[in-house]
Structure 1
Amino acid sequence: MTTMISISSLSKTYEGGFQALKTVDLDIRQGEIFALLGPNGAGKTTLISIVCGLVNASTGTVKVGGHDIVADYRAARELIGLVPQELTTEAFETVFSAVSFSRGLFGKPANPAYIEKVLRSLSLWDKRNNKIMTLSGGMKRRVLIAKALSHEPRVLFLDEPTAGVDVELRRDMWALVSELRKQGVTVILTTHYIEEAEEMADRIGVITRGEIILVEDKATLMHKLGRKQLTVQLQEAIDTIPESLAAYGLERSAEGHALVFTYDAERAQHGVAALLRDLAAAGIPFKDVNTTQSSLEDIFVDLVKEER
């Protein structure tokens, strides 16, 4: 796939010596949804701010659509829409005027039909003549998204876009993101709601302490790092686990009515079948089995913990 954003040897050190980014290398493909995950202070917002031209890098280069963000900054920024974390909007402007003005900042000709389409997609059309100061926090967040889309960008950054918003906005926004991907727009999001990344993202990047520690296709990541647990419900409680089953690393429930086997993708094919056979050989009858799989959040927590 075509590379839309190319980040090479990027670092950022603020005054006082704090190093927010440490030699970041990252390519983001055209038309994908890329989720950047990391704990608070990991460098997510700094990275986004550099790409969008809001913060100057200390070293390294960034290209957007083949345009260097420093040498060819106008062409690069015209491709980018940004939905920031902060609710900073023009309090006394109407919704329609504010979004139209944002389009004009990029030198785009007026296009009321397109602005209407964006506002309708975000359930803002009925509020188009309202002053922004009269809107709720959730509606102001919708206006920020509309402003970011006003100039028809090919790259959309969503920095914690659903933090503190209502369920309805979250649903509308992800429907919009799905539609943008169909149109070939590249979407980069940071989020604390990891289930959203699990639901929407094509690839996952994990950043901690200013370093990208992993970039992987979501499906591959879940397969490689995900863990499954097989819970075997026993017909009768047992006090101890027989030595013949020690290799499985089983855990016994508090009452002894269940055994829990934790395994990864590599052990799945043979481990489960072998365990059930060995249970029968050990004279331990069971009445039911069920499995659970670790979520992306579990994987993320484990990765960050290991890095620390």
Structure 2
Amino acid sequence: MYTLSSVRVLFTSHIPFSSLLNGMPYLGPVAFPQRCEPDSDKRAMAADVAVHVLSTLEKHRGDVVCGGIRRRRGLSDLDAFALGEDDVYAFISALKDKSISQNEFDEIWKLAIKDLVDNEEVDFVIKEESGHSLLVARNAQIGFGCKLRLKLSTLVKKWRLEFFTLVALFVGYSVALAKIRRASADKKRVKELVKYTIEHMMTSMDDSSVSPYVIPEQVRDESLADVHSSSERQKLWSRVRKTVESNANIQVKQLEIQGDITDVFEWKSS
């Protein structure tokens, strides 16, 4: 209901012979009834209020969607995204021009909410259990970062199986490639250590000032000083020793050295 100050009454009595058309088919009992249209200024103010209301509701929904406002577990979409009409009214009313009376603002408010509902931008809901009226925007106001995050989340949910399969394949490939590279590096290192051990024995044989044999453990500790893991060092050396012992020019003996029986490598005389 609009007050007289807020409407413009358009009388049609000035239309010539308008009364003669009353009751005519398709025109009804009164051919040209009086019409009331909201004042253009009030319409403009209602549109401005509607913009602020919509922005407030969409921002609230965006904050919930993007995690700016924590959503309690089990809360329905309506309860999560909606704001009480009284709360929104109080917030927007505090921004109004002081020259506008509260009664005038109430009329503007009703116009604004009606326009938002009619344009399907906002839903107006009354809770049955409490009777409180709620306003909820149909769209959310979110930033670029949140849009990107939501898009990625949607893609992950949609392609979850394919995504994790791809990740598993990539991890498996990376692990297999690392093992192959490690095995290749170990093989190269074993060759170098075998060569070092044999050269060490040949040097001992040619130098009369040193023992004609070498103690494997001493060679191991010298050649693998850069390998700090005892298990890794033992793993490499076991392969080196196996290769060295299979050489026909090398003889494995057991000698008593400083009271202990110890395996030694000795180069066979030709």
The normalised TM-score by structure 1 is 0.17
Q: Which has the higher strand share?
A: 1
Q: Which has the higher helix share?
A: 2
The structure, 1 or 2, with the larger RCO (C-alpha pairs under 8 Å, 6+ apart) is: 1
| Structure of larger gyration radius | 2
The normalised TM-score by structure 2 is 0.19
